[in-house]
Structure 1
Amino acid sequence: MNRLKLLIISLFLLTACSTEELPEGVLDQQKMVNVLTDMTVIDGYMSTLMYTDTLRTSGKNYYATVYKNHNISKAAFDKSLKYYSMQPALLDSMYTRVTKKLEAKEKTLNKLQMKEQIKTFQKAPK
């Protein structure tokens, strides 16, 4: 009987926790995943370049473009990242989704590149 009570209380607490509303100004998970995906692309691009003061300035511009494209502010992104960082398991699952989105983008780009190579090969003089 005690186990049943414990199970019911546990389920109630788990359900209550999972429906917790986000604090004001925190991006929902899907929007955050989309922003993190774009940020990761920018980070990857910038890591291929030589670090200079110009790169640091242009990097800020790249990030500002992501904020603008997603209709958010840097403050909202920072607040959201801080919020999700306090929940490591949730943030990890979000980064897993980011990775899947990036892999899908890479696959699409590889297909496009392959098509272009085939076109170029077919047009080449024989």
Structure 2
Amino acid sequence: MRIFTILLLLVLALYGCDRKADLPGDILPPKKMEEIVWDVMVADEYSKDLVQADTAHQMDVKKERSKLYQQVFNLHGTSREAFNKSFKYYSSRPELTKALFDTLTSRANRRSRPIFPALRPELRPALRQELKLVK
């Protein structure tokens, strides 16, 4: 009986952790939504930088941004309508929105972290010595 109870609790816990089971069929799953939102954010940054860099040619920002968004949707095999519907669904559920943006925030933090963290001052002489030996 004890084993049965443990197995039942394990199955319930695993089922409870499966967020896909809670989503309607026409809503993008969390991982795909994360990837698309990330790429949309990158497209926004790119379009902003592009407009700032190209002041000689006054670009239609909305048109350029719309083209970039369409490329993102094509890349992920979805449509603007499916994304908008999914985004509204996620936005109406705080727990899903929080999970999505927490993941995006940690991803952004990982990307902004330097590959080689600053070397402690006391280790610099040893590193210089090793670099001399490599030459």
TM-score interval w.r.t. the shorter chain? 0.5 to 0.7
Structure 2: gaps of 5 or more residues: 1-11, 53-57, 116-135
Write the deviation string for residues 56-86 of structure 1: whole angstroms up to 9, x where unpaired.
Answer: 1111000000000100001110110011111
Gaps of 5+ in 1: 1-10, 112-126
After the TM superposition, which residues 1-126 of structure 1 pair with which residues of structure 2 at under 5 Å, given as runs?
15=16, 20-48=21-49, 49=51, 54-107=60-113, 111=115
TM-score (norm. length: structure 1): 0.63
Distance in 2 (CA, whole Å) between partners of 1:77 and 1:85 is: 12
Larger Cα-atom Rg: 2
Give the conservation status (yes or no) of the 8 Å contact 2:20–2:29: no
| Identity %, equivalent residues | 27
* Off by >6 Å, runs of 4+ in structure 1: none
Alpha-carbon separation, structure 2, partners of 1:19 and 1:59: 30
State the distance in 1 between where 2:70 and 2:20 align: 32
Measured on the aligned residues, the alpha-carbon RMSD in Å equals: 3.0
* Number of residue pairs the alignment of both structures matches: 97
TM-score of the aligned structures, taking structure 2 as reference length: 0.59
